[in-house]
């Protein structure tokens, strides 16, 4: 028997199994044991005194979020959504599509902000209807929570606003999942208080996202210990791999960054126990209208996710 392994995508998740080696050819050992895997999940099966482990990676364990920084056009949303659907089908995952209808925190008043709430939500609703993807977007004011919750599955609280009580409680009262980004000036342990606000307001599920801390001016660093600290507060802690490589306000009226380090951020977060990853992606990042310097090239997302789910 070979010690090689492979992934099989099923409705239950991704099964990591082994192979029989017969006359130099490899055959999956799943066979008639497949109906049992749902009951045994991480149990082991004994063959010829060797252990073959069946392990299921479900999306309850690994949360994946990806999409363009801001809604630029319907064509961009379609391009990204098609790739996410293809990745989901190949790997048996369930990537959540993200895009912002309004970038209300741009460095310059002259920067592109997006189509706005009404048009942006319609465009996101079209993505959900056409591709069947779950949706995430961020809100900046408490009155936005209710209309956004009618379209999106996850409401995201921006890092700069994670202590805003009215914003947190409004998002929590919608009944949707609330993803709170850790502020660049807070520790992981400090996120106890935003979590308490959301839970006390009735949030059914709260996620936390690491996105780096300010290091002097126009620079971020990531203390990956924050992931472990936040896992003591909530079971879902996500690494924002693209905003973490930003150079805030450091590019002459806009935010700079260095996308080269996105894969390393993702892999380091995996080592520290992150249960999910957040990527802003674009087919031509340098032409992007927001966060161009740190968005990941769309064609690099698939191989990176493969590596993260190994």
Residues 260, 150, single domain; the answer is yes
Range of the domain at 225: 63-308
Same domain assignment for residues 154 and 80: yes
List of residues 6+ apart from 39 with CB closer than 8 A = none
Specify whether 171 is located in the same domain as 219: yes
Q: What's the pLDDT score for residue 8?
A: 41
Q: Are residues 219 and 198 in the same domain?
A: yes
User: Cα(285)–Cα(259) distance, rounded to whole angstroms?
Assistant: 9
128 plus 210 within the same structural domain: yes
Both 44 and 188 in one domain: the answer is no
CB-based contacts of 29, cutoff 8 Å, min separation 6: 1, 17, 18, 19, 20, 45, 47, 52
Q: Are residues 160 and 176 in the same domain?
A: yes
Q: Judging by beta carbons within 10 Å of its beta carbon (0-12, 13-18, 19+), is residue 292 exposed, middle or buried?
A: buried
Looking at the structure of the chain, the number of domains it has is 2
Q: What is the pLDDT along the chain (310 residues), one digit of tens a residue?
A: 333 334 444 443 444 444 343 344 434 444 334 344 444 444 433 333 333 333 344 434 699 999 999 999 999 999 999 999 999 999 999 999 999 999 888 788 888 898 999 999 999 999 999 999 999 999 999 999 999 999 999 999 999 999 999 999 999 999 999 999 999 999 999 999 999 999 999 999 999 999 999 888 888 999 999 999 999 999 999 999 999 997 877 666 767 778 899 999 999 999 999 999 999 999 999 999 987 789 999 999 999 999 999 8
Same domain? 18 vs 98: no
Beta partners for 66? 97, 279
Give, in degrees to the nearest 5, the angle at Cα 227 between 226 and 228: 90
Choose one of 57, 75, 91: the last residue of a domain: 57
Q: What DSSP string describes 19-55?
A: EEEETTEEEES-GGGHHHHHHHTT-EEEETTEEEE-E
Are both 146 and 26 inside the same structural domain? no
């Amino acid at each position: 028997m070979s010690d090689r392994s492979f992934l099989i995508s099923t409705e239950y998740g991704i099964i990591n199994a082994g192979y029989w080696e017969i006359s130099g050819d490899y055959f999956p050992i799943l066979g008639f044991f497949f109906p049992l895997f749902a009951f045994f999940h991480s149990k082991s099966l004994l063959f010829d005194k060797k252990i073959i482990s069946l392990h299921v990676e479900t999306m309850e364990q690994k949360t994946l979020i990806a999409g363009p920084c801001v809604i630029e056009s319907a064509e961009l949303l379609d391009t990204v959504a098609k790739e996410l659907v293809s990745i989901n089908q190949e790997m048996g995952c369930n990537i959540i599509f993200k895009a912002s209808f309004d970038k209300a925190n741009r460095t310059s008043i002259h920067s592109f902000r997006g189509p706005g709430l009404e048009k942006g939500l319609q465009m996101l609703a079209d993505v959900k209807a056409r591709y069947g993807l779950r949706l995430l977007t961020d809100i900046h004011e408490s009155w936005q929570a209710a209309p956004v919750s009618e379209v999106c599955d996850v409401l995201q609280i921006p890092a700069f606003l994670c202590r805003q009580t009215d914003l947190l409680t409004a998002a929590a009262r919608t009944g949707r999942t609330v993803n709170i980004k850790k502020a660049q000036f807070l520790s992981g342990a400090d996120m106890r208080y935003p979590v308490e606000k959301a839970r006390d307001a009735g949030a059914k599920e709260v996620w936390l996202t690491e996105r780096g801390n300010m290091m002097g001016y126009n620079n971020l660093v990531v203390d990956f210990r924050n992931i472990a600290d936040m896992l003591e507060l909530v079971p879902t802690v996500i690494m924002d791999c693209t905003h973490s490589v930003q150079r805030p306000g450091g590019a002459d009226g806009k935010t700079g960054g260095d996308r080269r380090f996105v894969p390393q951020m993702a892999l380091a977060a995996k080592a520290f126990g992150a249960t999910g990853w957040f990527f802003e992606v674009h087919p031509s990042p340098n032409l992007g209208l927001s966060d161009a310097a740190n968005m990941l090239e769309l064609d690099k997302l698939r191989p990176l996710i493969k590596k993260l789910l190994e």
